Structure 1
Amino acid sequence: MSNVEARPTEVVCAANDASDGPAQVRVLEPRAVPLGGPRAMSVRRTLPQRALSLIGAWCFVDHYGPDDVARSGGMDVAPHPHTGLQTVSWLFSGQIEHRDSAGHIATVNPGVLSLMTAGSGISHSERSTPETTTLHGVQLWVALPERERFGGRGFDTYEPPVVRGDGYSAQVFLGSAFGDTSPVATATELLGAELRLDPGAQVSLTPSGMFELGVLVDDGEVVADGVRVAPDHLAFREACADPMALVAGEHGARLLVIGGPAFGEQIVMWWNFVGRSHEEIVSFRAAWQAEIGAAQAMPGTAEPAISPETPGAGHGVPRTHFDLPEDPGDPLPAPTLPPVRIKPRGAG
């Protein structure tokens, strides 16, 4: 999914400060972000925000629906670029057609993981299918570590089995939990799972190590380590090896659970790019603008995106090339860069 805000805020993401005392749970409120014009669907964004920028390597969480496609028009996101990250799509209802510049064309279905790896550069489009009447799901981004972020492009799907226990059912799409392990390889250790709790059910969420944990409430409400979490809110717990106690409300709950060890690297996020410096962001933007400019001038051609004169080139910034997917829509131009230099901080 694209961050289609006209004036996206640059975000410098660093490791969370460690606490000397017991791990604490914080609850983060969502903010509404429209995905386009006046009839566009709206998403509820809980990550990143000023109070928290990373949960493990997870750096972006958009939650949407249930959305009446007949009223909103559904999801209609034209081709747009990504660098240095993976996108994770997880649907509760509806379908989305995915097209990317690595040649993958796929239908995203409920209960099936869709994982796109951008590596050094990819572009893709996302549109709800004509058959979709209600669209409801989550899209997340995962920051790639230094050793992996300029790797190849990829697209993987996986339908995890439903595992059941006392008062719950779960699908583990990344990592290990509830006695199940996803076979999907990740660059850093991650946890991603949908968890459904019966009314009043009590579940112990046990990480495999010193994990930061996030619990996004899709439906119902839950108490996480004694802290009430309302619908659409994201509960965050600091890195800890202890289990997290989850208690469902009287109507039960559906949750998305994410986590991982503290990322340990500082990243810079702006629009749809994840980099390490101001120069990289400038270079990525210039590469994308050159890409769409060449395509509009000579449809069907692919020209090098960065020349030695491109801002950022020659400053240790790798050359980036996105290509365009097979999609009839015009690609989204990048917003104007902020008037100030993005100054990275250390990872702590």
Structure 2
Amino acid sequence: MTGRPLSHGEPALHGRTDLYGHAVAGEAVPESVLLPGHDVPLGRYTTVRRLLPQRPRRMVGAWCFVDHFGPDDVTGRPGMRVPPHPHTGLQTVTWLAEGEIVHRDSLGNVQPIVPGQLNLMTAAHGIAHSEQSPPEHPPGMHGLQLWVALPEEARHREARFEHHAALPVLRDGNVTVTVVVGESGPLRSPARTHTPLLGAEVLFSGPGRHRLPLDPSYETAVLVMSGTADVAGVALTPGSLLYLGQGRTEVPMTAAEPARLFVLGGTPFEEPLVMWWNFVGRSHEEIARARDDWMRGDRFGVVPGGERPLPAPEMPTVRLKARDRHGRVLA
């Protein structure tokens, strides 16, 4: 790799770099910051690396939650087992590199997903869903679970679900770019979003270089799902998120071996949020109402399959406060 590794939370140097990580004089770009993830148990059988939210960086555009799971060998094991649970105020994006998951929701949708396909669930005012590996599932499990915060004008609407079996793809030598949501250059995803957004997988099947076009109004971040890569002059390995800020028209990437990256971007999300459990809202009272509705069996409906729903945790003893995208508490 041509870039130097950064310590977690360490900013990179200002200034544009070329494809090999060398500075280009006279062209300033935002500094990069490497943000560490941390492991979180998800149910009985899965541990994920949580990359957003973090204290130094709560959001990237409207992306407000990023979990990276696997790669895991689930041969002879149940695989993913997430029982029915509720959501409000967000969209869920499920993206697989390996394995198979069956999505079931309270609208009646039952939809398997495999690598290269997108499940996009818009919770809006309220929905419940489960995600389970089928009994006869592939031996590997590897993917991302991401949330997108909904703006005020979209978060009170009816819930919906989309499955996209085919997404726009660009091939550049050993590099394959799939635009999962939003757009990059000539590629535009059919997925419906509510703020300017980008989610793209960049897959290196072998040594390669690529420059991914960016909207300079977006803030952008990159994570490595597998392998190693140089991104904008920074050497990346799995387990952290490289925040690249705003103002870039492209991000250069190189890999000397097979690697899988995921790029997140979007215009800064300016609405303050309260995030607690599986809910994204605007106030303590709103979150408390959502929890009470779930525990009473109101609002969210029933997920088919007869599995026992996941109970909500007790509300915290302190009042939940809205925070802006920088993590600042608002009065």
Q: For this structure pair, what is the TM-score category when the shorter chain's length is used for normalisation?
A: 0.7 to 0.9
The alignment status of 1:119 with 2:124, answered yes or no, reads yes
Q: Is the CA contact (8 Å cut-off) linking 2:211 and 2:252 kept in structure 1?
A: yes
Which residue does the alignment assign to 1:138? 144
CA distance in 1, matches of 2:134, 2:262: 24
Give the CA deviation at 1:275: 0.2
AA aligned to 2:89 is G
Which residue does the alignment assign to 2:72? 67
Among 175, 187, 197, the residue aligned to 2:182? 175
Q: Report the TM-score, using the length of structure 2 for normalisation.
A: 0.85
Q: How does 1:230-245 map to 2 (within 5 A)?
A: 230-245=237-252
AA aligned to 1:29 is P
Among 202, 221, 225, the residue aligned to 1:214? 221
- Percent identical among aligned pairs is 45
AA aligned to 1:45 is R
Range that drifts further, 23-32 or 157-166: 157-166
Q: Is the CA contact (8 Å cut-off) linking 1:277 and 1:342 kept in structure 2?
A: yes
Give the CA deviation at 1:211: 0.9
Give the CA deviation at 1:67: 1.6
Q: Deviations over 1:242-269 (max 9, x none)?
A: 3222222x21321111111101111111
Which residue does the alignment assign to 1:80? 85
1:347 and 1:106, CA in 2 relative to 1: closer, same or farther beyond 3 A?
A: closer
How many residue pairs align between the two structures?
298
Q: Deviations over 1:73-123 (max 9, x none)?
A: 211111000000000001111111111011111111111010001010000
Among 21, 29, 53, the residue aligned to 1:22? 29
Q: Is the CA contact (8 Å cut-off) linking 1:199 and 1:252 kept in structure 2?
A: yes
1:134 and 1:166, CA in 2 relative to 1: closer, same or farther beyond 3 A?
A: closer
AA aligned to 2:150 is L
1:185 and 1:252, CA in 2 relative to 1: closer, same or farther beyond 3 A?
A: same
Consecutive unaligned residues in structure 1, runs of 5 or more: 1-18, 292-304, 306-320
Q: How does 1:1-348 map to 2 (within 5 A)?
A: 22-37=29-44, 40-70=45-75, 72-132=77-137, 133-158=139-164, 159-248=166-255, 250-291=256-297, 305=298, 321-345=299-323
Matched position secondary structure for 2:257 = strand
Give the CA deviation at 1:166: 4.0
Matched position secondary structure for 1:251 = coil
Q: Deviations over 1:201-228 (max 9, x none)?
A: 2222221341111211011112222122
Q: CA RMSD in A?
A: 1.8
Matched position secondary structure for 2:228 = strand
Range that drifts further, 231-240 or 90-99: 231-240
Q: Is the CA contact (8 Å cut-off) linking 1:203 and 1:247 kept in structure 2?
A: yes
Q: Is the CA contact (8 Å cut-off) linking 1:79 and 1:327 kept in structure 2?
A: no
Give the CA deviation at 1:145: 0.3
Consecutive unaligned residues in structure 2, runs of 5 or more: 1-13, 15-27, 327-331
Q: Deviations over 1:298-333 (max 9, x none)?
A: xxxxxxx3xxxxxxxxxxxxxxx1111112211011
Q: Is the CA contact (8 Å cut-off) linking 1:96 and 1:128 kept in structure 2?
A: yes
Q: Is the CA contact (8 Å cut-off) linking 1:90 and 1:110 kept in structure 2?
A: yes
CA distance in 2, matches of 1:180, 1:22: 24
Q: Report the TM-score, using the length of structure 1 for normalisation.
A: 0.81
Matched position secondary structure for 2:167 = coil
CA distance in 2, matches of 1:335, 1:71: 31
Q: Deviations over 1:161-185 (max 9, x none)?
A: 4320144111112111253111222
1:46 and 1:280, CA in 2 relative to 1: closer, same or farther beyond 3 A?
A: same
Q: Is the CA contact (8 Å cut-off) linking 1:176 and 1:208 kept in structure 2?
A: no
CA distance in 1, matches of 2:224, 2:243: 12
Q: Is the CA contact (8 Å cut-off) linking 1:41 and 1:73 kept in structure 2?
A: no
Matched position secondary structure for 1:149 = coil
AA aligned to 1:323 is G
AA aligned to 1:203 is H
Matched position secondary structure for 1:254 = strand
Q: Is the CA contact (8 Å cut-off) linking 1:214 and 1:235 kept in structure 2?
A: yes
Range that drifts further, 273-282 or 159-168: 159-168
